[in-house]
Amino acid sequence: MSSVRTRESAPLLVVQMHGEPGSGKTALARALAPAIPAIHLDKDVISSALIRAGIAPELQGPGAYESLREVARSLMTQGYSVILDSPCFWPMNEDKGRALAAGFGATWAMIECKCPGEVVEHRLATRERLESHPRRRGEGSERPGMYEPTCERLVLDSTRPVADLVAEAIRYLTRLPLSAELARARACPHPPAPSPDPAGEGEQSRQVHLQLSPSGLGPQNSELAQ
């Protein structure tokens, strides 16, 4: 099945991963991408390229996040959903990710990975390293402005089998309501007459949910669950 999503055939998604380095974000994001389907974008790939290019550390981080979102924007313009594989410890990253989704009438969601500290340490010590990967747990933590997100999100124990995590993530994403803008457009493809009850219309649009195939391999042709 094609991994291309268009605004005419299926709702776009922006999935923001979250979790400390070594928590399992990338392993899950890679497995989840074809199941949505979406394009997996790894911030560490961009960060590592900037490090190799000699970009100063104080510029590399912000540059990598901005580059990640610009690549995502380009892909969404072409009709692809995206998974942003990066920690979300700064409010501006969540805000800009939500704004990116809103600009396309897309649905935004966060999935967080967690696991015991000893598992994180083992993963950091044994995984194939990119230049931006920390060597030890806690490197770079507690910098000014960092926070723990408080938004609604799916939190997963990444010591479970990846297939089980993908299945749970697909169930979660399927239950998410569409953005109000996209729900109205999909429910009424022709320009609507002025509504005498905008509040009622908004309430109705929130009842429209994402529809993924039961196998988790992509969108169904019946795009909306009324």
Cβ atoms of 29 and 85 within 8 Å: the answer is yes
pLDDT higher than 90, residue 7? no
More confident residue, 12 or 212: 12
Is the pTM of the predicted complex or chain greater than 0.75? no
- With a pLDDT cut of 90, the percent of the chain lying above it is 45
| Residue pointed to by tokens 């990119």 | 130
Choice between 140 and 169, residue whose per-residue pLDDT is larger: 169
Q: Please tell me the predicted confidence (pLDDT) of residue 127.
A: 76
Read off φ and ψ for residue 138, nearest 5 degrees: 90, -5
pLDDT above 70: residue 63: yes
- Residue 145 is predicted with a pLDDT of 53
> Does the pLDDT value for residue 180 go beyond 60?
no
* Multiple choice CATH, 13-175, 1.10.10.10, 3.40.50.620, 2.30.30.90, 3.40.50.300: 3.40.50.300
In this structure, are residues 66 and 43 in contact, taking their beta carbons and an 8 Å threshold? no
Range with top average pLDDT, 2-11, 115-124, 213-222: 115-124
Highest-confidence segment of 96-105, 139-148, 198-207: 96-105
17 strand-pairing partners: 111
128: its two tokens = 């194939």
Listed range (3-17, 93-107, 153-167, 189-203) with the worst mean pLDDT: 189-203
> Measured at the alpha carbon of residue 105, what is the angle toward residues 99 and 111, in degrees to the nearest 5?
60
194 pLDDT more than 50: no
> Where are the chain's structural domains?
13-175
DSSP state at residue 34 = G
Q: How far apart are CA 137 and CA 114, in angstroms?
A: 13
Q: Higher confidence at residue 129 or residue 1? A: 129
**Hey, what are 11's tokens?**
């709702």
The predicted-structure confidence for 132-167, as pLDDT tens digits, reads as follows 666 666 665 555 556 688 899 999 999 999 999 999
C-alpha span between 162 and 31 (Å, rounded) = 7
